[in-house]
Amino acid sequence: MKKEYIEAGKIVGTHGVRGMVRIMPWADDGTFLCRFETLYSGENKTPLKINTIKPHGNVVIAQIEDIDSLEKAETLRNRVVYIKRSDADIPEDRYFVSELIGCSVFDFDTGVKYGIIADVSKTGANDVWHIKNGDKEYLLPAISEVVKGVDIEKEEIKISPMKGIFDDEN
């Protein structure tokens, strides 16, 4: 199911003495977070109004409204930050990794259930989905030749797996 709030990164430290924070983005590109005027934090999704935000190596540096000292910034360390999915403006056929986790994976032709997505690894060339079925785990390349359909609302993914990925194939 599409989530209202999506995990987008984690505040990993401070930057300077004026209250700026370093955020490790959980996106294909760190500049993705730079589009947002508000991030959210905590169970209650407390709004964090962003005054300035910019990429800085593998992190983004942000100045959050009312966070104007090193001490205040330090209180935010290790907090996960969220975005509102409705603010993300992503194409209809795109989705977030956190929305894939828990989706059931079915054979496109037969409807056989292979398991659920338990994790996603980034390999550079393509993502690899970790499909769990009981105590077994299968690694599936997330490429167009394999992935035939993703329905986040139904939490279902249809695939045409390559030979040898699942034990019961010839």
Assign residue 16 a region: left if phi > 0, alpha if psi is -120 to 50, beta otherwise?
left
Note the maximum CA span of the chain.
62
Tokens 């964090």 identify what position? 48
| Nearest CA-CA partner of 6 in 21, 36, 72 | 36
> pLDDT per residue over 109-129, tens digit each?
999 999 999 999 988 788 999
**pLDDT value of position 170:** 46
> pLDDT per residue over 39-55, tens digit each?
999 889 999 999 999 99
* Partners of 141 in the β-ladder: 128
> pLDDT per residue over 119-163, tens digit each?
999 887 889 999 999 999 999 999 999 999 999 889 999 999 988
> pLDDT per residue over 57-101, tens digit each?
889 999 999 999 999 999 999 999 999 988 988 777 778 888 899
Under a CB-based contact definition with an 8 Å cutoff, are residues 108 and 158 in contact?
Answer: yes
**pLDDT value of position 166:** 85
Across the range 14-38, mean pLDDT stands at 90
**Domains of the chain with CATH codes:** 5-88 (2.40.30.60), 97-159 (2.30.30.240)
**pLDDT value of position 143:** 93
